[in-house]
Chains A and B, each alone.
Chain A
Amino acid sequence: MKISYDARGLAEPDAQPPMVATIDGGAAAFDAAELTTRQINLELRRLIYDEGIQDVTVLNPGAKHSIAVGILARCSITIEGSLGYFGCGLIDGPEIRITGRVGWSAAENMMSGVLLIDKNAGSLTGAALRGGDVVVRGDVGARSGIDQKGGTIIVGGNAGTMTGFMLQRGRQIICGNVGGGLGDSMYDGAIYVGGKVTSLGVDCVEAELADADNEFLARKLGIYGIEPPGAFRKFVCGRKLWNYDNLEPAERKLVL
């Protein structure tokens, strides 16, 4: 049977890069105000992959969703303005700076590189983060680094409820206050908090701050020029929920 519709389900099935960027040596810039999400991402890909440009500036992103996702190359991207939801997800390698804010789920499943956000971020920032640094100079919403598996999330301001929910590996540095249920059901990793902690989540406990922790905090905050608060507290997994091998006898028989 001949398929007569676009089976990819894309809103713009045959979009082309708009070719609007001005290229000046190794740098390029383009205005995204009148472009669709897909056109912006196609233009970014064209510049980075096809033209080999390592320094791209995007102007007027207008809080659109899903901008600069899936960029898998070492390059530098500056976004002059704010992004909507799912910004800079699935990236591996780039250093991205956003001069405005981002919505929910920025840097979701980021593999490596740096994401610098000058203002606030929404909830679920750095969800399932695997590597690299996500730096938010303002406040973040709820559930930052949910299911984080590596990398570092640094927040200059406050964080919401359930920060570090199900954290598996990696670290978070929150300079301000955090909401309730901090580190709920975390498996491993560490959360450093400079401000007040509303309440701890299930199986999250406070740990001693070692020299290595202080060295790490000073180094990371130093790189991004964030003024550290007075003192940090460290929170880790209490390992009460580590029941991986505790099978019932009947289950054991089934497995072995």
Chain B
Amino acid sequence: MCGIAGIIHRDGTGDIGTEMTRMLQSMKHRGPDSSGFALYGPPSDLLVMRIKLADPNEKRDFGWSERLERHRDEIEHRLAKIGAMVDKIRGDQEYAYRVTFRYTGDLKPLADYIEDVPGCEVLSLGHSLEIVKDLSDAQSVSQRYQLEGFTGTHAIGHVRMATESDVDISGAHPYWAYPFSDIAVVHNGQLTNYHMWRRRLERMGHRFQSECDSEIIAVYLAQKMDDGMSLETAMKQSLDELDGVFTYLVVTGDSLGVAKDEMAAKPLVLYESPELVALASEEVAIRAVIGREIDTYDPYEREVLVWNR
């Protein structure tokens, strides 16, 4: 089933950490396996990277903590070696870190080099985007990663009921469009031409960490944008090029978009006001952040909508 949610403040900022937590928690019944957040804080000169070094549900031997400690040091060492000036490293969990650093080179060699450390996965990388995802419901993940009070401009989130791949952090949404900075996707549905697109994108040099079909949407869109296409045009093309049922949300540094497949098989409720746009699989999620009585509508089949800041 899965539940997706998005919010964008048209101007100004909001406590998107709390807002997204409330939205996702109200849809806990749609997917209790894992919860994920893609949050856009104020853009900075520094790059911010979220990484995980292990999965919380993997078997822990006696050397587990020590090994993670060693891998963390190795990442710091490698960042320095590739020419990045590390600003801060913060461990939210034993296995999950937030690293800020100064770096002007290409992102792909850096991300590849970091992911080469055993067990490491780069969850997000950009000047503003931060992806936090872990097992269990949104409230617990939010508490563990201290997301309440996270101020920013826009965010998307996902609660997952795993159907096609494992219950672990790699299978959790949102997906960062590795290695394109500041682009992420959440998806509710199934893609039936996933393997074809995965092979096609792999031939172009992209890496995929999970067996989850949603992972390709982010890279698919980011690659098209990198080729010079606008987000909206890329999304419109996806309606013809991606098979299956989907409602997906995509975020970039300054925009939030939604696309629905031609059968309108997956739900989405939309609320628009002069201050903000909020969308979710269920209206209860929107009402969790907007106290007053509101009017909402459902986008139709093959609809592509993009809001820019």
Please give the residue numbers on chain A whose beta carbons come within 8 Å of chain B beta carbons, in ascending order: 62-65, 81-82, 84-85, 100-101, 103-104, 119-120, 122-123, 138-139, 141-143, 160-162, 179-180
**CB-CB < 8 A to A122: which residues of B?**
267, 269, 298
| Interface status of B300 (Cβ within 8 A of chain A) | yes
Cα of A85 to Cα of B269 in the assembled complex, Å:
11
**CB-CB < 8 A to B76: which residues of A?**
none
Question: In the complex, are the beta carbons of B282 and A161 less than 8 A apart?
Answer: no
**Sampled A-B contacts (22; CB under 8 Å):** A62-B287, A63-B286, A64-B284, A84-B282, A84-B284, A85-B282, A100-B293, A101-B283, A103-B269, A119-B295, A120-B296, A120-B298, A122-B267, A122-B298, A123-B298, A138-B297, A141-B264, A142-B263, A142-B265, A160-B301, A161-B262, A180-B262
Q: Tell me the minimal C-beta distance from B25 to chain A in angstroms.
A: 15
Q: Which of B264, B265, B296, B298 has the most CB of A within 10 A?
A: B298
Question: In the complex, are the beta carbons of B300 and A142 less than 8 A apart?
Answer: yes
Q: Tell me the minimal C-beta distance from A80 to chain B in angstroms.
A: 9
Cα of A85 to Cα of B285 in the assembled complex, Å:
13
Cα of A123 to Cα of B265 in the assembled complex, Å:
9
**CB-CB < 8 A to B295: which residues of A?**
100-101, 119
Known A-B contacts A81-B293, A120-B296, A160-B300; the reply to A142 vs B264 at CB < 8 A is yes
Known A-B contacts A62-B287, A64-B284; the reply to A162 vs B263 at CB < 8 A is yes
State the interface size on chain B (CB cutoff 8 A).
18
Cα of A120 to Cα of B287 in the assembled complex, Å:
16
**CB-CB < 8 A to A143: which residues of B?**
264
Interface of B is mostly: loop
Per the 8 Å Cβ criterion, residues 8-49 of B in contact with A are none
Question: In the complex, are the beta carbons of A141 and B283 less than 8 A apart?
Answer: no
Number of A-B contacts (CB under 8 A): 64
**CB-CB < 8 A to A82: which residues of B?**
283, 296
Per the 8 Å Cβ criterion, residues 262-297 of B in contact with A are 262-265, 267, 269, 282-284, 286-287, 293, 295-297
Q: Which of B262, B265, B282, B301 contacts A63 (CB 8 A)?
A: B282
Please give the residue numbers on chain B whose beta carbons come within 8 Å of chain A beta carbons, in ascending order: 262-265, 267, 269, 282-284, 286-287, 293, 295-298, 300-301
Cα of A156 to Cα of B298 in the assembled complex, Å:
16
Query: Beyond A123-B267, A161-B263: 4 further Cβ-contacts under 8 Å?
Result: A101-B295, A122-B269, A161-B262, A180-B301
Cα of A160 to Cα of B301 in the assembled complex, Å:
7
**CB-CB < 8 A to B298: which residues of A?**
120, 122-123, 141
Q: Tell me the minimal C-beta distance from A211 to chain B in angstroms.
A: 34
**CB-CB < 8 A to B301: which residues of A?**
142, 160-161, 179-180
CB-based nearest B residue for A160: B300
**CB-CB < 8 A to A63: which residues of B?**
282-284, 286-287
Question: In the complex, are the beta carbons of A103 and B282 less than 8 A apart?
Answer: yes
Cα of A186 to Cα of B296 in the assembled complex, Å:
30
CB-based nearest A residue for B284: A63
Cα of A85 to Cα of B266 in the assembled complex, Å:
13
